[in-house]
């Protein structure tokens, strides 16, 4: 698995998005063969001089597969143990339910309750 250097920097800066709060999810099928998915997270910026929370967005272009499950007992969604990124066959898989295991196989990602696999993933950070 190889992930771009800039993505590694983002994962380090935001501690794999550990304890981030899920703000919004949008799935856009308009005028596309494959959906475009955007996820907005509020996350702790470890590069800041003092504790700072930032709004970050993850854009998934040409999403090939995804699963987003909402538990009825939830009042807000926290990415409790960070995210895992796995790349296979030209698809970048992001697992939001990795339970701290940031090195996952595609089979492990697919068993998750919250993951997205897309042709391109962009991290939009302040």
Q: What pLDDT is attached to residue 2?
A: 44
| CB 65, CB 118: distance < 8 Å | no
Report how many domains make up the chain: 1
Q: What is the pLDDT of residue 74?
A: 61
Predicted local confidence at residue 1, as pLDDT: 43
pTM for the structure as a whole: 0.88
> Domain residues for 23?
5-124
Q: Closest Cα to residue 34, out of 113, 110, 105, 91?
A: 91
pLDDT lower than 50: segments of the chain: 1-3
pLDDT at res. 86: 93
Give the tens place of pLDDT for each residue, 58-90.
999 999 999 998 776 666 688 888 899 999 999
Task: Find out whether 96 and 78 touch, Cβ atoms under 8 Å.
Answer: no
pLDDT of residue 78: 83
Residue with tokens 């597969």: 65
């Amino acid at each position: 698995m190889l992930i771009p250097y800039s993505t590694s920097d983002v994962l380090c800066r935001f501690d794999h998005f550990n304890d981030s709060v899920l703000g919004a999810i949008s799935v856009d099928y308009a005028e596309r063969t494959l959906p475009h998915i955007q996820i907005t997270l509020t996350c702790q910026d470890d590069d800041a001089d003092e504790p700072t929370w930032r709004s970050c967005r993850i854009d998934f272009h040409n999403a090939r597969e995804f699963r987003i499950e909402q538990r009825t007992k939830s009042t807000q969604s926290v990415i409790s143990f960070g995210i895992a990124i796995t790349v296979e066959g030209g698809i970048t898989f992001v697992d939001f339910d990795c339970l701290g295991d940031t090195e996952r196989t595609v089979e492990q990602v697919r068993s998750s309750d919250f993951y997205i696999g897309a042709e391109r993933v962009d991290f939009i950070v302040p």
